[in-house]
Amino acid sequence: MSGSGALAFPFAIDARGRSAVAGDDRHLRDLIMLVLFTVPGERVNRPEFGCGIGQLVFAPNSDALAATTEQLVHGALIRWLDPVLLVRAVQVTSQDATLTIAVTYSARDTGETRQDLFRVPVAG
């Protein structure tokens, strides 16, 4: 993968005054974050893109919400990122007013397996 030349997300300026770039590991995490936090319909040229977990802020936190979110995230990651990563597992835990999403994946080009955590505030 040529992630070493990919723009960092969120966009930033580096110490040299240029657009910051992300390494391969960071680039894959950025791609996952884009899928998770983009609301379907938000992108004009790709209205189905994303899974919109940010919309869960007002949903009541429960085990059922965690299970539903797990399926939603897993499906969206496979749909949008299958060419660059293999989703090994998605685990969503519900605690207090937060959903914690653990995504275990392997980079398709290197086979390296990683796990990243993403937290989403929800209604208690």
pLDDT digits (tens, 9 = 90+) for 91-111: 998 888 888 999 999 999 899
Q: Which domains does the chain have, with CATH numbers?
A: 3-121 (3.10.450.40)
pLDDT digits (tens, 9 = 90+) for 33-79: 999 999 999 999 999 999 988 777 777 778 888 888 899 999 999 99
CB 75 within 8 A of CB 100: no
pTM here?
0.79
Helix (H/G/I), strand (E/B), else coil: 113: strand
Record the tokens describing residue 100, joined without a space.
């914690």
